[in-house]
């Protein structure tokens, strides 16, 4: 089965399951039976299964299916879980404060999951399109190395030309560009405004300096391009690495709140079914 065929099969299965859930919900709605506990327990089990993906990642030695199969299952079950959640809250905002918080946590978990799905689909290609692969942990070191190379080029150029134009420009403009934290949004939007701005400055500077300094500036321009590529890789990898730091703790909070919710429901149900 090709990837496209598998996706189509998955979507068809999801549509069927969703239709079944909605049908069951509408049928229950016409009867005097309460579907709340049933949908609640189903939802809780779904949440536990979804959290099981994290456990699978910690047990790579167990022959319990590949992580990619688990992730696909995680996506599909997550969507079904949203449907159960909507049925459980009867497509309306909960009326208790605690339930409101619980619903809010569920919403944030879902949104962070969808965010994760989107970034894991979109960002890798952007990183590989931009340039050679670089390990995230090595980026700060590369940045330092670039800065040291630029500084040494400028020192050499100043010594040779006996002019302080480049040193002044470095102190006033370039150092802030080199030492600034990478800007997330412009890089995500593939904006090259900052790079163009600094390149324009270099071009303007070239017209006013000696041949030695021009040569240094040409090399500095290449290093600035490299620095920009590193910033690009850093921003994209940062998002890919750190979005689970929202999703996973929120999931844990959701499980704890759900357990509390179960306890409260049974404590205050007064023996009613």
Partner 1 sequence: MLRLRVQWQGTTTAEYQFDQREVVLGSIDTCEVCLRGEGVSRFHAVIVNKGTEYDLIDSSVEGTFLNAIEVSAHTIKVGDKIGVGRFIVEVLEASATPIERGETGEWTNFLGDPIEHGDVEHLLKMEPFASIDLDAFPRNRRLRSILQNDCRLLRCKDGDIVLREGDYGTAAYFVVSGATRYVLDTLPDEILGRKSQSRKSLSALFSQARVNRLIPELRASSEQSSSRVLGRRESKGKLPRVFLQDVPHVLDEFNTTVLTEGEMFGEISALGRTPRAATVFAEGDVTLLEIRWQGLRDLRRYSPQLRQYIDRNYRERSLKVHIRETSLFESLSEEEIDKVVAATVFETYGEFDWYGSYKQRISEDGTSRAIEEPVILREGDYVNGMVLIRSGFARLSESTGGSERTISYLGRGDTYGFQEIAHGWRSDSAIPYQRTLRAIGYTDVLIVPTQILEELVIPRMQTSQLPQLFDLENSAERFAFGEAQDDSVDPALLEFLVEHRFNNGTSIMMIDLDRCVRCDDCVTACATVHNGNPRFVRHGKQFRNYMIANSCMHCSDPVCMLGCPTGAIHRDPEGGQIVINEATCVGCSVCADSCPYDNIRMVAIRDEESLFHIDPVTQQPIVKATKCDLCVDQWGGPACERSCPHDALKRVDLSDFATLRKWVKKS
Residues that bind partner 1 (CB under 8 A): 2-3, 57-63, 66-68, 70-71, 119-120, 123-125, 127-128, 132-133, 135-138, 140-142, 145, 148, 237, 240-241
Please say which residue, 104 or 140, places its beta carbon nearer to partner 1.
140
Cβ atoms < 10 Å from Cβ of 137: 9
Please say which residue, 28 or 142, places its beta carbon nearer to partner 1.
142
Please say which residue, 35 or 54, places its beta carbon nearer to partner 1.
54
In angstroms, the CA 82 to CA 40 distance is 12
In angstroms, the CA 24 to CA 31 distance is 11
SS (H, E, C) 219-270: HHHHHHHHHHHHHHHHHHHHHHHHCHHHHHHHHHHHHHHHHHHHHHHHHCCC
* Nearest-10 Cα torsion for 229, 234, 239, 241: 130
Sign of the C-alpha dihedral computed for residues 98, 104, 107 and 113 taken in this order: negative
Please say which residue, 101 or 139, places its beta carbon nearer to partner 1.
139
Encoded tokens for 72? 């696909």
For residue 113, the minimal CB distance to partner 1 (Å) is 13
For residue 115, the minimal CB distance to partner 1 (Å) is 13
Encoded tokens for 15? 């549509």
For residue 11, the minimal CB distance to partner 1 (Å) is 18
Please say which residue, 56 or 88, places its beta carbon nearer to partner 1.
56
Using DSSP, state whether 182 is helix, strand or coil. Answer: coil
For residue 99, the minimal CB distance to partner 1 (Å) is 33
Please say which residue, 34 or 128, places its beta carbon nearer to partner 1.
128
For residue 60, the minimal CB distance to partner 1 (Å) is 3
For residue 241, the minimal CB distance to partner 1 (Å) is 7
């Amino acid at each position: 089965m090709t990837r496209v065929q598998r996706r189509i099969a998955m979507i068809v299965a999801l549509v069927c399951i969703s239709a079944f859930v909605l049908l069951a919900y509408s049928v229950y709605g016409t009867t005097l039976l309460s579907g709340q506990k049933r949908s609640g327990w189903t939802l809780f089990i779904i949440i536990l299964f979804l959290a099981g993906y994290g456990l699978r990642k910690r047990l790579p030695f167990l022959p319990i299916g590949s992580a990619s199969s688990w992730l696909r299952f995680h996506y599909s079950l997550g969507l079904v879980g949203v449907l159960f959640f909507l049925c459980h809250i009867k497509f309306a905002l909960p009326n208790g404060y605690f339930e409101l918080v619980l619903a809010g946590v569920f919403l944030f978990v879902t949104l962070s999951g969808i965010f994760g799905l989107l970034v894991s689909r979109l960002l890798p290609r952007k990183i590989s399109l931009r340039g050679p692969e670089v390990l995230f942990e090595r980026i700060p070191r590369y940045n330092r190395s670039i800065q040291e190379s630029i500084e040494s080029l400028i020192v050499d150029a100043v010594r040779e030309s006996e002019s302080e134009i480049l040193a002044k420009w470095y102190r006033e403009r370039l150092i802030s560009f080199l030492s600034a934290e990478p800007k997330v949004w412009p890089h995500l939007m593939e904006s090259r405004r900052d790079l163009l701005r600094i390149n324009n400055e270099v071009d303007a500077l070239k017209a006013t300096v000696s041949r030695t300094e021009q040569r240094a500036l040409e090399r500095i321009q290449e290093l600035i391009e490299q620095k920009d590529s590193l910033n690009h890789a850093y921003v994209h990898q940062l998002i890919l690495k750190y979005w689970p730091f929202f999703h996973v703790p929120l999931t844990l909070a959701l499980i704890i709140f759900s357990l509390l919710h179960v306890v409260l429901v049974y404590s205050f149900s007064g023996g009613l079914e």
